[in-house]
Chain A
Amino acid sequence: MGDTLQHLGEGFGVALAPINLLLGLIGSFIGTVVGMLPGLGPINGVAILMPLAFALKLPPESALILLTAVYIGCEFGGRISSILINVPGDAGAIMTAVDGYPMAVKGQAGVALSISAWSSFIGSFVAFIGIVLAAPLLARWALAFGPAEYFALMCFAFACITGLMGDAPMKAVLAAVLGLALSTVGLDSNSGVYRFTAGSVHLSDGIQFVVVVIGLFSVSEVLLMLEQHLVQAPPIRAIGRNLFNRAEMALTWWGTVRSSVLGFVVGVLPGAGATIASAMAYTMEKRLCDTEGTFGKGDIRGVAAPEAANNASANGSFVPMLTLGVPGSGTTAVMVGALSLYNITPGPALFTQQPTLVWGLIASMAVCNVLLLIMNIPMIGLFTRMLALPNWILVPGILAISAVGVYAIHATTFDLVLMVVLGIVGYLLRKAGVPMAPLILGFVLGDMMEQNLRRALSITNGELGILWESPISIGLWVGVATMLLLPPVYRRLSRRRAAAAAA
C-alpha cells in the first residue's frame, strides 16, 4: 500500500508537470466538445487525435494523458446534447436523454446539466479510488498468467462484449471475427508467410491500426450523420436555474454512489463498456426508486445515475487495459493501439517497467476530472453555444483532420483510399446493425490472441488440454460460459414472468 502511495505521488508529479497539465486541459476541452457533438464519440476523438499526438512527437506519457483527457472529457460532454437536444452526444449518454430531455422541456436544463456534471465527477472519482486499490493487485496477480491463461482471458473479453450486447449477439460475434480476421492480414512473423495480402506491398506490413479506426469510426460516422442531419429535435433555448440545490443533491446522492460502483465493476470487465454500464444503472435506479412512475418523465435521479455509471465505467475500463493488456472498452482498445505506436505493450510488466508512465496516467485521470468539473459547471454556456456549429463546416473538418491523421503515419495514398473504403464498409455494417466495438477489440487483440494460442500449444506440442489446465484458465472459461449463457436465460425468464404477470 505504501508502495502504491509513493508511486501515486510520483504519478501526480508527472500529471502536474506544466506541459502535461496543459495537455490535460486541452484534452478535456476537446473531449467535452467532441462528446457533445452528436455522432462523434470518445472513439472518434481519441482515434483522430492519436496519430496527431504521435506526429507531434509528444513523449508517450504526454500523449497518453492527452488521449485520456479526451476520453474522459467525451464521457462528460455526451450528456450535454442528450439533455439539450435529445440527441445523445455519444453512446454512453443514451440513457441520460431519457430523463434529461424531459427535464429540459420542463425548464430545468440547467439543473439537469449541473447535477449530471456532479454525478459524472463522483462516478469518475469512485473509479479512480477503485483503480488505485485494484490495479496493482491485479497486475501482480496477472504476472502468473501464461499463454493459455491469456488466450482464455481474451475469449472472456469477447464473451463479455457479445453476451452483454443485448439484441444481436450473433452480429457481435460476426464483428469480433471480422476484426480478428483483419488483424491476420500481413506477414506472419512466426513463419514468414504473407497472409491475405493479395500480393500488395502496401498490405505486407498488415493494415495500419489508425486507418482501421478512423475509417470505421470517423468516415462511417460522416455517412450516418448525413442520413440523420434532417431529423433533429428543436434545441432547448431557456436553461433555467443553473445549479442544483442541496435537496436535489441529497435526493440523488445514494443512487449516484450505487451507480458509480456498478459502473466501475462493469468497466473493469474486459470488453463491456460505458453504454452497458449506464443502461444497467438506469434500470437499477428505476427498479429501486421509481415508486411514483416519474422515471422517463424528467426525474433527476434518472439523470444522475446513468451519468455516474457512464463515467465510472469509462475510467474503470483502464484497469484491464493497464494490468492485463486487454482493453475494457472500444476506446481503451484504441489507446492500446496508441501505445503500440510507441512500441509499448501494456500488461502486468508495465507496472514494474514503466511505473511513471502508468501512475502518471492514473494520476492524470484524477487531475482531468477536477479540470472537467470546473469546466463543466461554469462554462456550460460556452459549450451549449458550440452545439450551433453547422454540419456543413463540421463534417469537411472531420474528414480533413482524419485524413491528416492517417497521412501522418505513412504518407501514402493507399492508406487514405483504404480509410475511405473501410469507412463505406463500416457504414454498411452499422446500417445492418453490426456493432463496431467488438470489431475494433478483435482487431487489437487478434495478434495477441493468435500468438498466445500458438505459444500455449507449442509448449505441449499441439495437445489442446493445456488451454484448460490451470485454475485461472478454468475460472475464465466458466466466466465465458456464464457471460454467454446468462443473458439469454435471463431474457427468457423475464419474458415468462412478464407473460405470467399479464395473464
Chain B
Amino acid sequence: MADRILGLLALALAITMAWMAQSYQAEFSYEPVGPRAFPLLLAAVLAVAGMWLAVRPGRAADATVWRPAPALLMVMAAMVVFALLFQTLGFVLATTLMALPVGRSFGGRPLPSLAAGVGLGLGLYFLFDKLFDVILPTGVLAFILGGR
C-alpha cells in the first residue's frame, strides 16, 4: 500500500511540476533549449516512476505499516517550534525549550532533560558564538548574553 501511495504522490507532483513549468519561457533566447525543457523532462521521468510504483508496488515495502506514534508527532512539533522561535527566543532558550520534549520522547526524565537543554544551549552558545565567532541569535536573553 505504501508504494502505491508513494507512486500516486509522485505522479501528482509530476503533474504539478509540468503545469508550473509550462509558463517558463525566456523573453528572448540565444539557445535552443529554454528553461522549460529540463523541468518538463524531469516531470516526465517522475511520472513514469510514479506510475510504475502505483501499478507494480514492491511486496516487501507493503508489510511496513506507518503508525503515527504520539512521540513522533511530539518531536516533529518540537522541531517546528524550535525552528520558528530560534531567532525570537534566541539560541539558548530555544534549545532548552526543544530539549525538554525531545529528551522526554527519547526516555529522559523531565529534570535531566531540561538540564541537558540548558547545558547544551549555554555550552554550544559559548563554544560557537564566543569561541568560534559563529554568530547565534541571543533573542530575549540579549540583556544577559550581550546582544548584538
- Chain A residues packing against B (C-beta within 8 Å): 52, 55-57, 167-168, 170-171, 173-174, 177-178, 180-181, 184, 188, 190-193, 195-196, 219, 222-223, 225-227, 229, 390-393, 395-397, 399-401, 403-404, 407-408, 411, 413, 416-417, 419-420, 423-424, 428-429, 431-434, 450, 453-454, 457-458, 461-462
Contact = CB atoms under 8 A, between A and B. Distances in A.
A57 B132 CA distance: 9
B96 to A, nearest CB: 9
Given A192-B27, A392-B106, 4 more contacts: A393-B103, A416-B84, A420-B76, A423-B79
Contacts of A397: 120, 124
Q: Which 10 A-B pairs have the closest CB atoms?
A: A392-B108, A462-B32, A191-B26, A396-B99, A416-B83, A392-B103, A188-B35, A391-B106, A55-B134, A392-B106
Contacts of A423: 79
A229 B133 contact: no
A366 to B, nearest CB: 28
A179 B45 CA distance: 13
B134 A195 contact: no
15 contacts: A55-B128, A174-B49, A177-B42, A190-B26, A190-B35, A196-B20, A226-B75, A392-B103, A400-B99, A401-B124, A403-B82, A407-B86, A413-B84, A431-B2, A432-B5
Nearest to B29: A191
B143 interface: no
A417 B121 contact: no
Interface of B: 2-3, 5-6, 10, 17, 20-21, 24-27, 29-35, 37-39, 42-43, 45-46, 49-50, 52-53, 58, 60-61, 64, 66, 69, 71-72, 75-76, 79-80, 82-84, 86-87, 91, 95, 98-99, 102-108, 112-113, 116-117, 120-121, 124, 128, 132-137
A396 B103 contact: yes
A401 B99 CA distance: 12
A413 B87 contact: yes
Contact of A170 (B31, B49, B83, B99): B49
A131 B110 CA distance: 51
Nearest to B56: A170
A392 B116 CA distance: 8
A83 to B, nearest CB: 24
